[in-house]
Structure 1
């Protein structure tokens, strides 16, 4: 891997844990601990992202080398590098959890290429001082999901961490998939994740909670210097501007989630990127039926804190926690509250504009908010596939209001329910929608192009990922590549892949991995 340009900044500019012992412990006055990946018994590379390779200055020849396999499965180190695990805390399901940290992630190095710097991180590469009672390893099913979803989200236009490679470790890993006492051995796997930074809200929270304001300032100044350099030298004004940018980026990210129907499933503050990237793909899922109350996470089943409809509100809750962490450097509540208050108004405007784009409206109209509210209500009257509904809606012709139901009828999971009051409500909505379309300057073809550019035809439905996992468990990895290639062009028609533009099959409705997921990986 001599072609990689190592440009380590994190370990050179931030305070390190003085102990190099790889034992579980509380790590104070430090942002990270040095730790080496665990060597694996029989590594095998399953897939590599060609786009990410190129972004790092590598090519397919490099990916086929023995060095690549060893480095990205933790069996060799890049020259002149010192791998490390990051220290952070977090609020989990609304409660302060104290120190968490990279329990199964090890950062290999930072790499510079064409003016950008990327952090390379192995997930599932072994224990760290932050592993608590866990083994630091990951299994194939969760690794397939993370690898495919990272790249799928990127091509959907959603801010996200990326994935470089997916590999088997050759080791067996014991996991209790549903936390119900039925543990079993599964194939171990390792994903190389890539991002400009893996800093989280919890990276700052842990320092504030410990009243380690010295290290907090060092970390905030470092973050601004390398990731927000345009806002200037450190000062109270700069810190407020930094917070404002994190707020804006986080809002942009969650609006993209709502647009494509993505549900993160575990929006704890340790899973919130300071760069506004989607991070930590665990028990995520895509909406099948449009349902504001749906969450894919079994741990969240009782209270549904992280359900689809509350994601924008939970981002704000998490931002409040970040504001509290930054307060010691600012010492002024009012400007922080003013920024947080702006979030609410920006959310209302951003959400309205996002939903308008999904139904092909660009002109300003006072009644649009009501039209969208009525749509969201009727969409939930009977199970209606979100992806198919919005994609099919673009086929509606401006002059034919009576075609509304027939245009999107394929999206209904229970078509026989579309009768009586539900049918009447749909017909009334389409009549209002038709009247609203008359006020648009776009013709049918232009409107379809605009709508199809924001409403994906193909998303990584849970059952699709599970099919690839089931095949991979049997030693067949072809479907991983099939889905990877499909999801590189999610907005294209791809008529040869029409089999993936369908509602969730009935067999997947209550199948583990398709409708129910846990944090087990």
Structure 2
């Protein structure tokens, strides 16, 4: 296997002149050169053939010894100059100062069919940005990242991708519950792939230090290499860059809300400048529809990153990026207009998305109220989001209210609670809904097809990922492969995988890894 890596990033941007791998504050540099840690006994667990194809890698290449060594950090490829990026970030609303790639090492850029991809190892060892951590990752979090990034891609959600996951053969000490009881887990490395891993925090760090020279260099690089449609690297170009980032961020978050995905750690250092979902830590999909749910144990008290607040946090993070870019423009008005547009666009796009989820493709005066009442109903009784919206598509214009309710009953976690006032509220809503469907000109079958292209049948619920992790811990990777195969076609019926189209089992409700998770990786 042979491929030649390029690197516009390290050739264009200022580097950290110190080559020793010591934890320190790095000034005036966008990155530091580093060397991945050699592992004890690398073993490939799974590879994404789809992602490999995007990179021009054959199936034979994926099976080669060289692939294993390159993508576990045990060999440095030709023309590869591994590096870690310097960035800062706001974490849970507070400025955290320098953060950086603490356990991610970029290998370089691969160009195939005029597409440029950055290859990155997550869990390959210490960097100057590792602070007090070891720069490693464990099998548990690596499986979650590998499966989720590929699942999100097939759901149509903007995301970074994953190429491979491998065991290192090393043991890594982690406190999974942050309760003072650390234990050793199997070490692992995920190969992540994206056009770029630049985050809002890459720009914030230089602005916070008033290093506007480096900031300008980085912004100019960003426009030239990642946003070629922007023709100028001046104030107008910078404003256009921010506008494009805001639009992409909004698009990404609308998709999150559509499929019920909750990121869990929307810090500014976890916000991609390309509007990609990045850094799969304590994420989760809604089981019961709940605006206030967060998968992150660290966020349990304040719920800053809860499902219903993700659009607002996207806006808050864009404000921080605007503050970082302001010194290059020194005019607040363009930023304010773009941020205000984000609010307006969100209202329009969210309504449009939710209407598509319930099969409405024309406009009636009461549509917003119909949706608002639905969202209230979904929370008066625990209702599985994925099952509810998927089953909604089988309701017809001629259904009675009783028929309509019966078709979505499977989405309720406790049918016993569907009585009296609760049942009457649902009947009242379905009465309005069926009447509204009758105003649509398309047939029931046509509407079903459209709805089933919007509402996935299969998502990576946390309990499913945990089951795969438990098996993998026993050296059985069959469930990793099964879920990977299932999630490549999340909108298809896939009768052989019907068992995964079900509510979270009761045993998983409070089990570690199956509901909320920590940031431990």
Q: Is the pair's TM-score, using the shorter chain for normalization, greater than 0.5?
A: yes
Where do residues 35-184 of structure 1 align in structure 2 (5 Å cutoff)? 35-184=34-183
Q: Which secondary structure state, in structure 2, belongs to the residue aligned with residue 229 of structure 1? A: coil
Q: Deviations over 1:371-424 (max 9, x none)?
A: 000000000001000000000000001111321110100000011101111100
Q: Which secondary structure state, in structure 2, belongs to the residue aligned with residue 189 of structure 1? A: strand
Aligned-pair CA distance for 1:319: 0.2
Q: Which secondary structure state, in structure 2, belongs to the residue aligned with residue 431 of structure 1? A: helix
CA distance in 1, matches of 2:516, 2:350: 28
Q: Which secondary structure state, in structure 1, belongs to the residue aligned with residue 488 of structure 2? A: coil
Aligned-pair CA distance for 1:129: 0.1
Equivalent residues of 1:384, 1:412 under 8 A apart: yes
Equivalent residues of 2:80, 2:108 under 8 A apart: yes
Counterpart in 2 of 1:453?
Answer: 453
Aligned-pair CA distance for 1:81: 1.5
CA distance in 1, matches of 2:444, 2:361: 13
Equivalent residues of 1:7, 1:117 under 8 A apart: no
Aligned-pair CA distance for 1:518: 0.4
Residues 1:340 and 2:304 aligned together: no
Aligned-pair CA distance for 1:435: 1.3
Counterpart in 1 of 2:15?
Answer: 16
Q: Deviations over 1:202-247 (max 9, x none)?
A: 0000000000000000000000001111111211111111100000
Aligned-pair CA distance for 1:352: 0.2
CA distance in 2, matches of 1:261, 1:294: 11
Q: Which secondary structure state, in structure 2, belongs to the residue aligned with residue 6 of structure 1? A: coil
Residues 1:489 and 2:461 aligned together: no
CA distance in 2, matches of 1:71, 1:396: 52
Give 5+ residue unaligned stretches, structure 1.
none
Counterpart in 1 of 2:443?
Answer: 443
Where do residues 468-483 of structure 1 align in structure 2 (5 Å cutoff)? 468-483=468-483
CA distance in 2, matches of 1:98, 1:463: 35
4+ residue segments displaced more than 3 Å: none
RMSD between superposed Cα atoms in Å: 0.6
Superposition TM-score, scaled by structure 1 size: 0.99
Q: Deviations over 1:419-471 (max 9, x none)?
A: 11110000000011111111111110000000000100000000000000000
CA distance in 2, matches of 1:233, 1:12: 21
CA distance in 2, matches of 1:29, 1:354: 43
Counterpart in 2 of 1:257?
Answer: 256
Counterpart in 1 of 2:507?
Answer: 507
CA distance in 1, matches of 2:161, 2:133: 25
Aligned-pair CA distance for 1:311: 0.3
Residues 1:7 and 2:1 aligned together: no
Aligned-pair CA distance for 1:5: 3.5
Q: Which secondary structure state, in structure 1, belongs to the residue aligned with residue 229 of structure 2? A: helix
CA distance in 2, matches of 1:274, 1:350: 21
Equivalent residues of 1:110, 1:117 under 8 A apart: yes
Counterpart in 2 of 1:516?
Answer: 516
Give 5+ residue unaligned stretches, structure 2.
none
